[in-house]
A = this chain, B = another copy of it.
Amino acid sequence: MAAPVRSVLPVVLLGRGGVGRHLLRHILSCRPLHANQGVAIRVQGVVADDLHSNGFDDALLADLCAAKSAGSPLSSLLSRGQCQLFNNPEARRKVIDTASVLGKTTGLVLVDCSATYDTVGMLKDAVDRGCCVVLANKKPLTCAYEDFEKLVSNFRRIRFESTVGAGLPVIASVTRIIASGDPVSRIVGSLSGTLGYVMSELEDGKRFSEVVKTAKSLGYTEPDPRDDLSGMDVARKVESLYPSELGPDAMSTKDFLESGLVQLDKSIEERVKAASLKGNVLCYVCKIESTGCQVGLEELPKNSALGRLRGSDNVVEIYSRCYESAPLVIQGAGAGNDTTAAGVLADILDLQDLFHKTA
């Protein structure tokens, strides 16, 4: 038997790629579980940058829409599985109208599962209206600093666990440690599943250019693999795996894959061999310390937490007063639409105490 509803969480979804699609499925399949806990998630609408996204399940959208309309206080953004566009001023106005009304009454969660900077304006408007934000999209956090500050200005109303290591509880753990007055001194991680896979394969003696092409064919990389190889997906201050002569300004993705990549094979092979002679492995490591943030290739002992990593797993080591000699280590799958969407859903539910039942 379902418990009395304590929290109703109205949600507007931005983006309907793989993560958004999985999220809607998870919301639907978790309805009984959440009802048992007195929680109801109501999808108010979907806004995307492509009306005809590959494989998006319009029947599922229609189903969610029908299920919700019974209890929704507002006319839906979504009618019978139709989706609005980011760049449509009418859609944006509808989102802001919804945010204005629901932000003051029941609350509203804007869930950004897109992969674009275009949502930042909408998210800021929603925050101004007292709404909550959940991000799988990393880009709003790497925009202008004043935009970032606005988004996190009420830190209880934003969650972005899935922007790091898919659903791995990294942000939640760091937030807990900081909140308890335990100062974090250092975070070291291998946070790119793509580059983790590439490094593992290199260790096994494969050629760099072949590994990158295989990674692309497996869907592990962005459409232009240089988005991964530049390290920009991990942070700003980075060591790129290719020189600027092979960069996007100098050649196309096609040329890079066909003739650019092989030019890198020899130097990378030499680095892998040099490391191996010392019993080390090459890892693409992200380090945050008081002196700054660094991202790049590093030689690490084969037997360290990061050196042992295989395949596309992510690992993060957190050092603080309580975790000084031995760090807090979190490891696991750091990619995948299912895992990422599960992390987004957990973030939405984590906001439930800020919401209340509608009249």
Q: A: which residues have CB within 8 A of B? A: 26, 29-30, 33, 37, 155-156, 167-169, 172-173, 176-177, 179-182, 311, 313, 321-323, 326-333, 336, 338-339, 342-343, 345-346, 349-350, 352-354
Residues of chain B within 8 A of A331, CB atoms compared: 328-329, 331
Whether A333 contacts B326 by the Cβ 8 Å rule is: yes
Residues of chain B within 8 A of A326, CB atoms compared: 311, 313, 332-333
Residues of chain B within 8 A of A342, CB atoms compared: 177, 180-182, 322
A349-B179 contact given A311-B326, A333-B322, CB 8 Å threshold: yes
CA of A44 to CA of B297 in the docked complex: distance in angstroms?
Answer: 52
Q: List 6 A-B contacts (CB under 8 A).
A: A30-B180, A169-B173, A180-B342, A180-B345, A323-B332, A329-B331
Number of copies of chain A assembled together: 2
CA of A354 to CA of B331 in the docked complex: distance in angstroms?
Answer: 31
Q: How near does chain B come to A346, taking the closest CB pair, in angstroms?
A: 4
CA of A326 to CA of B200 in the docked complex: distance in angstroms?
Answer: 15
CA of A26 to CA of B172 in the docked complex: distance in angstroms?
Answer: 20
**3 tightest Cβ-Cβ pairs between the two chains A and B:** A353-B353, A30-B181, A328-B332
Q: How near does chain B come to A281, taking the closest CB pair, in angstroms?
A: 15
Q: Which of B33, B37, B176, B352 is in CB contact (< 8 Å) with A350?
A: B176
Whether B350 contacts A322 by the Cβ 8 Å rule is: no
Q: Which of B37, B323, B352 is in CB contact (< 8 Å) with A333?
A: B323
CA of A233 to CA of B321 in the docked complex: distance in angstroms?
Answer: 26
Whether B346 contacts A322 by the Cβ 8 Å rule is: no
Which of A179, A321, A328, A350 gathers the greatest number of chain B CB atoms within 10 Å?
A179
CA of A353 to CA of B132 in the docked complex: distance in angstroms?
Answer: 13
Q: Which of B321, B333, B345 is in CB contact (< 8 Å) with A181?
A: B345
CA of A331 to CA of B181 in the docked complex: distance in angstroms?
Answer: 20
A346-B156 contact given A322-B336, A323-B332, A332-B327, CB 8 Å threshold: no
CA of A342 to CA of B30 in the docked complex: distance in angstroms?
Answer: 33
Q: How near does chain B come to A190, taking the closest CB pair, in angstroms?
A: 13
Residues of chain B within 8 A of A354, CB atoms compared: 353
Residues of chain B within 8 A of A155, CB atoms compared: 37
Q: How near does chain B come to A167, taking the closest CB pair, in angstroms?
A: 6
A180-B313 contact given A167-B322, A329-B331, A333-B326, CB 8 Å threshold: no
Q: How near does chain B come to A11, taking the closest CB pair, in angstroms?
A: 14
Question: A172-B176, A311-B326, A323-B332 known; 13 other A-B pairs, CB under 8 Å?
Answer: A29-B181, A33-B179, A156-B353, A167-B176, A172-B172, A172-B173, A176-B346, A176-B350, A180-B346, A323-B333, A323-B339, A329-B331, A353-B354
Chain B: CB-nearest residue to A343: B180
CA of A173 to CA of B349 in the docked complex: distance in angstroms?
Answer: 13
Whether B169 contacts A169 by the Cβ 8 Å rule is: yes
Residues of chain B within 8 A of A322, CB atoms compared: 167, 333, 336, 338-339, 342
